[in-house]
Amino acid sequence: MNIFYVNSIILCAGFAVTAHDAAAQPYPSKPIRFLVGASPGGGADFVARGLAPKLTESLGQAVVVENRAGANGVVASELLAHAAPDGYTIKVNTTGDIINPSLMKLGFNVLQDFAFVSLVAESQNLLVAHPSFPATGITALIALSKARPAAITFGSQGIGSSGHLAGELFQLMAHVKWVHVPYKGGAPALIDLVGGQISISFGNIPTVIEQVRGKKLRAIAVTGARRTVAAPDIPTVAESGLPGFEVSNWFGVSARAGTPPEAIARLHTEIARALKAPDLRAGLISGGADPSDKTTDQYVSFAHAEYAKWAKVIKAAGIKAE
C-alpha cells in the first residue's frame, strides 16, 4: 500500500478523533460572550454585569460582557441572531426586543432566531400624576378621561417606549382618549410632570419614586400583575379598577436558536442559582426590579405572549417608529 495513502488515512483519523473530543467536551469549554444592547449604566447592563461574575464562577469559564448599543438593542440582537448556535454567545433581552419587530423591519425573526433561556427580572412602571391632578385613583382617572376626552396629557420616554405603550394599552382597555407627549427619555418627561406641563406619566419606578416620596408627584398605581417589592403599598392598575391590565419592563437571557438543550439547561440552572445570591437580589430590588423564578418553558411562553400583545397594541394605536 502507498505510504502516502496510509499516512493520509492516519491523519484523517486523527482529525476525526480530535473533532469528536471537542464535540464531546461538556459545556462550557471556552469563554462566553455576553451581549448587551445598551450603553453601560442602564438596566440591561446592570443585569449582565451582576450575572457575569457569578456565572464565571459557577460555569468555570469567563463570561465577558460586551456592550453593543444601537437602534434600541437591534445591533446586539443582529449579532446574536447570526451567531453560532453553540451557547457561547448570549444576550440580555429586554421588552424592546419583543416590541421592535412591530415598529421596524428587521433582518431576523426574534421568535425563531432566539432561544429564550431565563427570565431574570421584571420591573414595573408607576403611573404618577402632578399633585394638582384631580383624579387620585384608577376609577376616578377613567371617569375623568371619559368626561373630558383628549384633555389629559400623558408623557412618555419616547415613541414605542414602555411608558408610551402602557398609556396606549390603558386607553384601549378603558375606552378613553388621551394626548400623548413623547420625550427623549424619562428625565425630561419627569421634569415637565413635576412642573405641571403634563398631567400623568407611566414612569420607571427608579426614575419617579423619589419624587413620589418627596410629595412632588402622586402615585396612582403600578402596572404589573401584582404589587412590586420596591413599592408594596402602591396598588396595581388591575386591582384598582382596570382588571387584566399588565405591563412590565423585563430582562432575560437568550442564546441563538438551535443551541443544544444541555447548554440551555446549564445556563438556566446557573442563572437561577445566581438570582438566589443576596447581593444580586438586593441590587435588583433596589433598582425597582423583582427577580424572576420562571422556568425556561415559562419564559418562552411569556416572550411569545408579550410579542402578540404588543403587536396588537401597536397596530390598534397606529404607532410608527420615530
Tens digits of residue pLDDT in 11-40: 444 444 443 444 568 999 999 999 999 888
Which 8-state DSSP code applies to residue 226? S
pLDDT in tens, 236-250: 999 999 999 999 999
Is 124-240 in the same CATH topology as 29-123+249-317?
Answer: yes
pLDDT tens across 190-235, in order?
Answer: 999 999 999 999 998 888 988 999 999 999 999 999 998 888 999 9
Angstrom distances, CA of residue 27 to CA of 119, 179, 215, 273, 300? 21, 52, 52, 17, 22
Domains of the chain, residue spans: 29-123+249-317, 124-240
Exposure b/e, 16-33, CB count within 10 A at least 16 = b: eeeeeeeeeeebbeeebb
- Architecture in CATH for domain 124-240: 3-Layer(aba) Sandwich (3.40)
CATH 3.40.190.150 fits domain 29-123+249-317 = yes
pLDDT in tens, 27-75: 999 999 999 998 888 889 999 999 999 999 999 999 999 999 988 899 9
pTM metric for this prediction: 0.85
| 140, β-bridge pairs | none
Q: How far apart are CA 21 and CA 296, in angstroms?
A: 29
Give CA–CA dist 101/314, Å, rounded. Answer: 11
- In this prediction, residue 321 carries a pLDDT of 78
CB 160 within 8 Å of CB 97: no
Task: State how far the Cα of 211 lies from the Cα of 209, in Å rounded to an integer.
Answer: 5
Average pLDDT, the chain: 91
175: left (phi over 0), alpha (psi -120 to 50) or beta: left
